[in-house]
């Protein structure tokens, strides 16, 4: 079962107390109904989520079912039990997003995201631009905060509009992690979780306003905000890997199921910040010639 | 038995939780008593998850540095919960294996006591495995108790000396004699089911400090038999706020006690764990043998 190719993507959302994790979760839960998306959002404290009662269609103990298809679950004392419950859903969720506690260390918890039926999609860490520099040096928790940043595939710098010195916070975070750092104020948070309108949905290749790039992840103009298509037709797997590897640091997500000329199976590409995964999907039959890329708006 | 986990599950405020504990107290029976709370700050030393002050853990087998352990709750959340319980006069037992976790606990108790006077709080450091002499002095000043994990000396003492914290700190782990000297009232425990339940065995560990390999770990931290007896009876009852009913044989207390074949004072200290239990009396009725 663990090697099933269609394992459910599992995102870890970390960050210290007050980093803005709950705000991100709220936006995920209250987004307009993402068609065909059934998302399990695992949170520490259901009370903190504060979802508008009008959106709740069912409330059963630690579980809230929402009108948009999301189900929000409080993680009990035993994470294994909660994950078993999620696995037992019928139909299964399309995606799992787990909010860690303020002192949760993603590197220590990431293994859960690769247990039976799940695959680690990415580690998103939120950092409060007004707090992060002080927090990372604070007694008791500084090492935990630094470990959170180091484990991230991408960091969302939050509350940049409230921070006294957001540029300093950004430079500090950039030096604390190999992950790209995105400004939460300028980023559709839905893109972080690969859901909603910001998800890089696979579209049939074809001319669009800018036209697909040819064999390269060149930037579009600064007005470009939506997903863009990168033409990757007629490539060998190694060439595709090189293009994925060469994607700029401003790429939040990229995804595609690509036909390569030298391997029989289709190749799935999943990019979450610096996490760049290619794997062969012999179970899929419909491939494309484009990689869909979401960048941080300029 | 966790009734609620403030870091998760429980969706009310700290003050609501404190008042809920008050309601639970009313449900107590002769044999099930509610009314004190346990919070957990760190992990375990053998799991490398306890929070240690420098120099931290020994390097890993490849010589690489080991990271410090983990917090189970942020210091801010811990403080909020602790202060709410203290204000409501609910004794809090806090899981602290590492000495950094003890520092955070001491700071928190200091703050709670400064805000709200409650002299007889009996807040207790649970496990208290790496607590230093300076920390015990501060605990004494703050009116705190300790519940020391003496069984660790026997079950993991060799590994603590070789692998987790090294011989110097291992020799001062579970420092009953230091707690005694610095004036902290303490108990000793097995943490069943982590190690087997048995008060005589736990006494034996505290008195002899003999590891599984037969070494004596930190002989200066051994305590006398009389002190060890107190640690598994009246001083344990004290930190559970039950010393008016349990922990000593006195007129007016519950008739719960055990009959031993030998007086622990009279046997070879190494034989304490082997003393035969002739029978037990619960609520005045003989239940064993």
List pLDDT tens digits, range B220-262.
Answer: 999 999 999 999 999 999 999 999 999 999 999 999 999 999 9
CA–CA distance, A113 with A91 (Å, rounded to integer): 19
Tell me the nearest-neighbour CA distance from B2 into chain A, angstroms: 9
CA–CA distance, B235 with A257 (Å, rounded to integer): 67
- Listed residue (B211, B273, B208, B284) closest to B251, CA to CA: B284
Q: How deeply is A164 buried, as exposed, middle or buried, from its count of CB atoms within 10 A (0-12, 13-18, 19+)?
A: exposed
Confidence of residue A187 (pLDDT cuts 50, 70, 90): confident
Q: Which residue of A has its CA nearest to B104?
A: A140
Q: Which residue of B has its CA nearest to A61?
A: B9
Q: What is the mean pLDDT of chain A?
A: 83
Tokens representing B208? 């002899």
Over residues A226-263, the pLDDT tens digits come to 778 899 999 999 999 999 999 988 898 898 999 999 99
Handedness of CA A159, A161, A163, A165 (dihedral sign): positive
Confidence of residue B93 (pLDDT cuts 50, 70, 90): very high
Determine the average pLDDT of the residues in A118-144. Answer: 96
pLDDT at A3: 52
Determine the average pLDDT of the residues in A273-291. Answer: 90
pLDDT at A46: 74
pLDDT at A218: 44
Contacts of A103 in chain B (CB under 8 A): 70-74
pLDDT at B74: 94
Tokens representing B225? 């038999």
**Best of B2, B3, B7 to mutate (most A CBs within 10 Å, chain A):** B7
Model confidence, pTM:
0.88
Q: What is the mean pLDDT of chain B?
A: 94
Question: Is A200's pLDDT higher than 60?
Answer: no
Determine the average pLDDT of the residues in B74-96. Answer: 95
Nearest to B76 among A17, A44, A105 (CB): A17
pLDDT at B88: 95
Determine the average pLDDT of the residues in B194-199. Answer: 93
**Interface residues on B facing A, Cβ-Cβ cutoff 8 A:** 2, 5, 7-9, 11-12, 51, 67-68, 70-77, 100, 104
Q: What is the distance in angstroms between the CA of the first residue and the CA of the last residue of chain A?
A: 42
Q: Residue A178 pairs with which residues in a beta bridge?
A: none
Tokens representing A183? 């400004």
pLDDT at B1: 45
Tell me the nearest-neighbour CA distance from A143 into chain B, angstroms: 8
Tokens representing A169? 């916070």
Query: In 3-state terms, what secondary structure has residue A134?
Result: helix
Determine the average pLDDT of the residues in A4-24. Answer: 89
Over residues A50-102, the pLDDT tens digits come to 777 777 878 887 788 887 778 888 887 788 988 998 998 888 888 899 999 99
pLDDT at A5: 66
Determine the average pLDDT of the residues in B103-115. Answer: 98
Q: Residue B185 pairs with which residues in a beta bridge?
A: B145
Over residues B139-187, the pLDDT tens digits come to 999 999 999 999 999 999 999 999 999 999 999 999 999 999 999 999 9
Nearest to A140 among B5, B7, B100 (CB): B100
The interaxial angle of helices B199-208 and B151-159, nearest 10 deg, is: 50
pLDDT at A296: 81
More confident site: B44 or A207: B44
């Amino acid at each position: 079962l663990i090697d099933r190719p269609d394992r459910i993507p599992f995102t870890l959302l970390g960050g210290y107390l007050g980093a803005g994790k709950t705000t991100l979760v709220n936006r995920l839960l209250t987004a307009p109904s993402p068609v065909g998306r059934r998302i399990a959002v695992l949170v520490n404290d259901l009370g903190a989520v504060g979802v508008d009662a009008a959106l709740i269609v069912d409330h059963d103990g630690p579980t809230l079912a929402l009108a948009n298809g999301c189900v929000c679950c409080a993680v009990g004392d035993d994470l294994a039990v909660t994950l078993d419950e999620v696995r037992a859903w019928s139909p299964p969720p399309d995606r799992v997003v787990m909010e860690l506690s303020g002192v949760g260390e993603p590197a220590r918890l990431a293994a859960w995201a690769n247990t039976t039926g799940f695959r680690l999609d990415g580690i998103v860490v939120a950092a409060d631009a007004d707090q992060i520099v002080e927090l990372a040096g604070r007694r008791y928790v500084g090492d935990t905060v630094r470990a959170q940043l180091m484990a991230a595939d991408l960091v969302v710098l939050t509350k940049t509009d409230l921070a006294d010195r957001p540029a300093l916070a950004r430079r500090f975070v950039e030096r604390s992690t190999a992950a790209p750092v995105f400004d939460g104020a300028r980023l559709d948070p839905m893109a972080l979780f690969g859901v909603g309108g910001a998800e890089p949905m696979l579209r049939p290749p074809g001319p669009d306003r800018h036209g697909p790039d040819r064999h390269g992840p060149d930037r579009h103009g600064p007005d470009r905000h939506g997903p863009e298509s990168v033409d990757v037709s007629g490539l060998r797997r190694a060439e595709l890997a090189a293009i994925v590897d060469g994607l700029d640091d401003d790429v939040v997500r990229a995804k595609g199921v690509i036909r390569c000329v030298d391997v029989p199976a289709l190749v799935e590409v999943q990019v979450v910040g610096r996490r760049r995964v290619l794997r062969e999907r012999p179970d899929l039959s419909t491939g494309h010639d484009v990689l869909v890329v979401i960048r941080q708006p300029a | 038995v966790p009734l609620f986990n403030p870091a998760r599950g429980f969706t009310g405020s700290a003050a609501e939780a404190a008042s809920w504990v008050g309601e639970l107290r009313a449900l107590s029976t002769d044999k099930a008593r509610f009314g004190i709370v346990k919070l957990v700050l760190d992990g375990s030393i053998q799991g490398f998850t306890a929070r240690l002050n420098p120099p931290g853990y020994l390097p890993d087998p490849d010589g690489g540095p080991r990271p410090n352990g983990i917090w189970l709750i942020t210091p801010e959340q811990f403080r909020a919960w602790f202060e709410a319980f203290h204000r409501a006069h609910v004794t809090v037992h806090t899981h602290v294996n590492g000495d950094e976790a003890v520092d955070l606990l001491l700071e928190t108790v200091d703050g709670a006591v400064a805000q709200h006077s409650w002299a007889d709080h009996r807040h207790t450091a649970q496990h208290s495995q790496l607590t230093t002499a300076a920390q015990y002095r501060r605990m004494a000043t703050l009116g705190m108790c300790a519940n020391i994990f003496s069984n660790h000396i026997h079950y993991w003492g060799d590994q603590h000396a070789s692998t987790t914290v090294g011989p110097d700190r291992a020799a001062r782990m579970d420092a009953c004699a230091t707690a005694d000297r610095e004036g902290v009232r303490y108990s000793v425990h097995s943490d069943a089911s982590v190690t087997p339940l048995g008060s005589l065995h736990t006494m034996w560990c505290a008195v002899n400090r003999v590891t599984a390999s037969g070494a004596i770990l930190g002989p200066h931290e051994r305590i006398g038999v009389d002190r060890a007896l107190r640690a598994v009876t009246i001083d344990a009852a004290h930190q559970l706020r039950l010393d008016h009913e349990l922990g000593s044989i006195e007129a007016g207390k519950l008739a719960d006690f055990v009959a031993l074949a030998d007086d622990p004072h009279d046997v070879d200290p190494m034989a304490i764990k082997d003393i035969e239990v002739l029978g037990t009396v619960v609520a005045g009725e003989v239940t064993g043998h």
